[in-house]
Structure 1
Amino acid sequence: MKDAAVLVPLYRDANGRFHLVLVQRSAGGNHAGQLAFPGGKRDAADASLLATALREAHEEIGLPPAHVQLLAELPVAETRTSGFRIAPFLARIVPPPGGWRPHPREIAAVLDVPLADLLAPGAHDDTPWQLPAWPAPRCEPCYHVGPHRLWGVTYRILHPLLPRLRAEEWV
């Protein structure tokens, strides 16, 4: 397995509502079009997996490391298809004043998702659904985020975290 890290960015808007920041991966690659947290594989020059998460968040969405306050290192998650062991880091952030700057080759969109949307009735779904590459529908649990489905390793990182965020464990 290859080491990777993601930042799980959390912030309060001007009205005091919590938001998570997600990215939609660009076309191409194993995870094209999928929702994810900013992050990627560890480079040899990265001093730690936290350094990987900070570097990748800066490269992918323009989040300066100085705008990040680490809250917790979350349990490691593994991808089922691409062979990554992912270290997730929950962080309170200050969004950049000029807005997000998605990396044009890696990120199709940056999504500011209100936590309330993920906790709303109907947001969580475990009924069978199908991607074009799948031979048949699967029962892959997911969250509906606008027109997208958040599933896979991102789901496995987020799902156990949501009750803790709802309880404002890190306020």
Structure 2
Amino acid sequence: MPAPTPPLRDAAVLLPLYRDDANQLRMIVIRRTDFGVHGGQLAFPGGKRELQDATLEATALRETEEEIGLPSAQVRVLGKLPPIVTEVSGFRIWPFVGHIEPPAQWRWQPTEIAEVLSVVVDDLLLPDARVTETWQLPGWLAPMAVSFYRVGPYPLWGASYHMVRTLLPRLVAGEWEV
């Protein structure tokens, strides 16, 4: 008899969007520090739900302020995407899409965040932005095909990749006023 699967833990992230001075739609992505399970990877600000969080939206907003210093007053939540389940870490991640007023300078949590990146959304729509390669990572039994978006020198893959892949057609369709 297989061991019972532990229940999934809820987490939430914010996919922050804004228009720059040239009216280009941009998305904020963070690069995690080199420590931990997701060390060095690109992600969205967010984390696990805490007891004080009345809703998952509150989780996303709290974590965004903690990680990159963006107060919830500067975020207008536009909607949410379907949750993503991460089998490896045991989370059900709820992505919230938000229009933000970016600060003049980001104040990120240096123990968790190495870098805050502002990505031009149109760049993610270019034919060569989405790539599939075969990777062999520690802990994997065999090499696997991994799809990702190129964001500067970094791959945006895993749960974040799936969120962006779901988000882009909805942005192109004009679902939200950003």
TM-score range, shorter chain: over 0.9
Provide the TM-score with structure 1 as the length reference.
0.94
Give the superposition deviation at 1:116.
Answer: 1.4
Structure label with greater radius of gyration: 2
From 58, 63, 72, the equivalent of 2:70 is: 63
2:105 equivalent to 1:107: no
State the partner residue of 1:145: 151
Amino acid at match of 2:60: A
Task: Identify which of 52, 61, 84 aligns with 1:45.
Answer: 52
RMSD value, Cα: 1.3
Displacement after TM superposition at 1:126 (Å): 1.6
1:57 CA displacement = 0.3
**Selected match of 1:162 from 143, 168, 174:** 168
Aligned residues: 170
* 1:96 and 2:90 matched: no
Letter in 1 for 2:164: L
What residue ranges of structure 2 are gaps of 5+ in the alignment? Answer: 1-7
Do residues 75 (structure 1) and 82 (structure 2) align? yes
Pairing partner for 1:116 from 122, 142, 155 = 122
Structure 1 stretch 57-66 or stretch 137-146: which is displaced more? 137-146
Question: Structure 1 residues 146 and 134 mapped into 2: Cα distance closer, same or farther (>3 Å)?
Answer: farther
| Structure 1 ranges of 4+ moved more than 6 A | none
Which has the larger strand fraction?
A: 2
> 2: distance between equivalents of 1:133 and 1:111?
28
Matches within 5 A, 1:115-134: 115-131=121-137, 134=140
Q: Say if 1:64 and 1:96, in contact at 8 Å, map to a contact too.
A: no
**1:135 Cα deviation from its structure 2 partner:** 5.6
